[in-house]
Structure 1
Amino acid sequence: MKKQLLRATAIAGLLALGAQGAFAQNIAIVNGKAVPKARMEALAQQVAKSGRPVTPEMEGQMREEIIAREVFMQEAEKQGVAASDDFKTQMELARQTLMIRELFASYQKKNPVTDAELKAEYDKFAAANGGKEYKVRHILVEKEADAKAIIASLKKGGKFEDIAKKQSKDPGSAAKGGDLDWANPSSYVPEFTEALLKLSKGQMTDTPVKSQFGYHVIRVDDIRNAQLPAFEDVKPQIAQQMQQQKLATYQEELRKKAKVE
C-alpha cells in the first residue's frame, strides 16, 4: 500500500513538472490547445518595429490580445469560416500584399541610398536654389485698368499693404498685405520672375505685370543671399525622397520587363 502511494505521488509530481514545462513553452492553454510563446515574440517584434517600447504593461496587453485571438480563431474554425469563397479571396489578397511588401523591403535593403548620392542630390538642390532671395509683396487684380489705377494711387502715397488687403484677389497673400515672404525668383511664374529681377530693393513695377492669374503690381521689400539649410539638417528628408524614387524606378522596370498579353 505504501509503495503504491509513493508511486502515485511520484506520477503526480511528474505530471506537475510536465504542466510547468508546457506553460514554460506556451503563454496559455485555450480549450486544451497550447498557445506558443512564439506568437508573443512575433507580436513584440512587430511592436518594436513600429518604434514603440515593449513595456511590462504592454506585454500583459499583448498576452490578452493573443489569447483573445486564439479564442476567436477556434470559433471561426468551428464554424468553417476558412472554407468560404470570400475568406479565400481575402487571404489571397493579403498574401499578395505581404509578398509585395517584402519584395520592396528586400530591394531597398540591397540598394540603399549612398552618402555620395545624397550629397550629389543636395548639391543639385543648392545650385538650383542658391543665389539671391527676394522678399516680395504683390497685388493681384483681374483687369489691367484696375492695376494701373492701383499703381497711380501708390505713387501718390497710398499704402501698399492696405490696398492689397482691400483689392488683391490672391487668397494666400491678400490678408497679409500682399506679403509673399522670402523666395527664390524661380519659384514664381515666368512673367512675375522676369519683372521681379528688374527691381531693386524698395522698387515697385511701373506697369502692370500680366500672368495667367491676372495683373500684378509687384514691390521688392528686401534682397538677400539664399538661406539654404545645412546638408546634415535635410539629409533624412533627401534620403527618404531618393529611396522612394529608386523604388519607383524599380517598379517601373519590372512593369516594362513583364510580358502582358
Structure 2
Amino acid sequence: MTFKPARLLFALIAVAAAPAFAQNLAVVNGKPIPTSRVEEAVKQLVAAGRGQDSPQMRMAIKEEMIAREVLMQEAVKQGYDKKPEVKAALDQARQAIVVNQLARDYMGKNPVSDAEIKAEYDRFTKQTGDKEYHVRHILLENEADAKAVIAKIKAGSKFEELAKQSKDTGTANNGGDLDWASPSSFPPEFAAGFTGLQKGAVTENPVKTANGFHVIKLDDTRAAKLPTLEEVKPQIAEALTQQKLEQFKEQMVKKAKVQ
C-alpha cells in the first residue's frame, strides 16, 4: 500500500504524538495530568490495603485527579496560592516531602542489618528474663498506712479485701491484681520488691515508688513465653530504623550553625 504525501505526513504526526498522549491521564484546560500519578496512587492504595488494582479504582482516581486539577486552577485564578497562610502551608508541605525523601535515601544507604536486629532481640530477651510473675499490690499514700496494711495481713486479713483501699483504682476492686508480667514491665524498685518473694508471700516492708508506697504479694511464677525472633523482627526493624533516623537528625543539628 502506498501513502499519498499528505496522508503520510498525518500518519507520521499521529505516530509521533501517540507516546505523548499516552503519558497523560488527561489534559485539563490545556494543562496535562501525567499518567504516572495514577500509577503512584494505585501503588500507594494497594500497599495500604485500601483496595486492589482494577479498572474501577483507576477510573475513580482519574476522576478525582481531574476534579482536583479543575479546583486547583480555579483556586489559582482567584489568587488563593498567593495568600500568606497558603504559602506557609505549602512551604511546610514542601519541607516535609523533601525531608522524608532525605530520610528514605539515608535508610536506603544505611539499612538495618539482620545482625543489628538479632542483637536487639537478644538484649530484649535478656532484659525481660526467663520468668513471668503474677503479682498483686496495694498502693497507699504513705509508709505508715502501708505498714498498717502489712500488719493486718500478718494478723490474718485477706490481701484481696484490703486491696479495696488501694489508691490504684484500676486494680482496687480486683484484689490488686496486676496479672502476669515480666519484671522489666515495672519500675526497677517495684520489681525488686517481688522477685525475691516466695509464692504466696507478701513484702515485709512497703516498697516506695514515684506513685506512693506499695504492699506487694506474689501469687505465682512461670516460664516466660517470649516471642520468637521471626515474630517480632518487623517491629524491631522499625524501631531500629527510627533510632537511626533520630541519630542522623541529631548529628545534622549538631553540625548546623543555630543562632
Corresponding position: 1:257 with 2:255: yes
Larger Rg computed on CA atoms: 1
For the residues of structure 1 that align with 2:84 and 2:181, how far apart are their CA atoms? 58
Q: Secondary structure at the match of 1:181?
A: strand
User: How big is the shift at 1:37?
Assistant: 2.9
Aligned to 1:107: 106
Aligned to 1:7: none
Which whole-Å deviations, capped at 9, do the CAs of 1:155-183 have from their partners, x for residues lacking one? 3443222221x211123322321112223
Distance 1:29 1:159, change over 3 A: same
User: How big is the shift at 1:119?
Assistant: 0.3
Aligned to 1:159: 158
Read off the aligned partner of 1:96 and give its amino acid letter: Q
User: How big is the shift at 1:41?
Assistant: 3.0
Read off the aligned partner of 2:248 and give its amino acid letter: Y
Which whole-Å deviations, capped at 9, do the CAs of 1:111-170 have from their partners, x for residues lacking one? 110001100111111111214332111112224443344334333443222221x21112
Corresponding position: 1:170 with 2:203: no
For the residues of structure 1 that align with 2:38 and 2:166, how far apart are their CA atoms? 62
- Give the 5 Å matches for 1:81-230: 81-164=80-163, 166-230=164-228
For the residues of structure 2 that align with 1:89 and 1:145, how far apart are their CA atoms? 59
Read off the aligned partner of 2:146 and give its amino acid letter: A
User: How big is the shift at 1:16?
Assistant: 10
User: How big is the shift at 1:78?
Assistant: 3.0
1:191/1:211 contact within 8 Å kept: yes
For the residues of structure 2 that align with 1:214 and 1:72, how far apart are their CA atoms? 59
Distance 1:51 1:199, change over 3 A: same
- Structure 1, gaps ≥5 residues long: 1-10
Which whole-Å deviations, capped at 9, do the CAs of 1:65-103 have from their partners, x for residues lacking one? 111122123323433444555544443333222111110
Q: Secondary structure at the match of 1:71?
A: helix
1:205/1:218 contact within 8 Å kept: yes
- Give the 5 Å matches for 1:20-35: 26-31=24-29, 33-35=31-33
Q: 1:246 aligns with which of 244, 247, 256?
A: 244
Which whole-Å deviations, capped at 9, do the CAs of 1:186-215 have from their partners, x for residues lacking one? 544454334323321111234444444333
Read off the aligned partner of 2:97 and give its amino acid letter: L
For the residues of structure 2 that align with 1:177 and 1:120, how far apart are their CA atoms? 39
2:135/2:219 contact within 8 Å kept: yes
Q: Secondary structure at the match of 1:91?
A: helix
1:130/1:228 contact within 8 Å kept: no
Deviates more, 1:57-66 or 1:89-98: 89-98
2:135/2:178 contact within 8 Å kept: yes
